[in-house]
């Protein structure tokens, strides 16, 4: 399993990268491998507020449908529109072209609910 050291993770298998308050969110390599072939995403719109711990969309795979949970409070500033036509980009490169949304952070990242790469590796072991 690929678990980049420079990202933070949730127990719900999302990853995030904070670049000075602009946070990129996606799902982990473990999550995409468990879902199988991803065929559709239901995503929020730019400008929508998201709240930590609450669902902000769905990801549909051949095997199942799964909720996407926000690891932070913020406002969606960008959606990966490429995923509308190529949702399998998540299967191909979940940490690169398969990112899902970018969010303007409201306040600080709540590190109490986030995991570093080592702690996340323990969760999926």
Is the pLDDT reported for residue 39 higher than 80? yes
Predicted confidence (pLDDT) at residue 94 exceeds the cutoff of 70: yes
What count of Cα atoms within 13 Å lies in the side-chain half-sphere of residue 21? 4
Model pTM? 0.92
Domain CATH code at residue 79: 2.40.50.100
Residue 3 lies in a domain: no
Q: Indicate whether 21 belongs to any domain.
A: yes
Return the pLDDT at 20: 86
Planar angle of CA 29, 31, 37, nearest 5 degrees = 90
In a domain, 56, yes or no: yes
* Chain segment 5-32, per-residue pLDDT in tens: 999 999 999 999 999 889 999 999 999 9
Q: How confident is the model at residue 1 (pLDDT cuts 50, 70, 90)?
A: confident
């Amino acid at each position: 399993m690929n678990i980049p050291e420079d990202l933070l993770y949730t127990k719900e298998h999302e990853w995030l990268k904070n670049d000075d308050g602009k946070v990129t969110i996606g799902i982990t390599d473990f999550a995409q491998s468990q879902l199988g072939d991803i065929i559709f995403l239901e995503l929020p719109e730019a400008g929508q507020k998201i709240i930590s711990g609450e669902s902000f969309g769905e990801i549909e795979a051949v095997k199942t449908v799964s909720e996407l949970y926000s690891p932070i409070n913020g406002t969606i500033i960008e959606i990966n529109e490429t995923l509308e036509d190529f949702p399998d980009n998540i299967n191909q490169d979940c940490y690169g072209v398969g990112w899902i949304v970018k969010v303007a952070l409201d306040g600080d990242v709540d590190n109490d609910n986030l995991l570093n790469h080592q702690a996340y590796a323990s969760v999926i072991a």
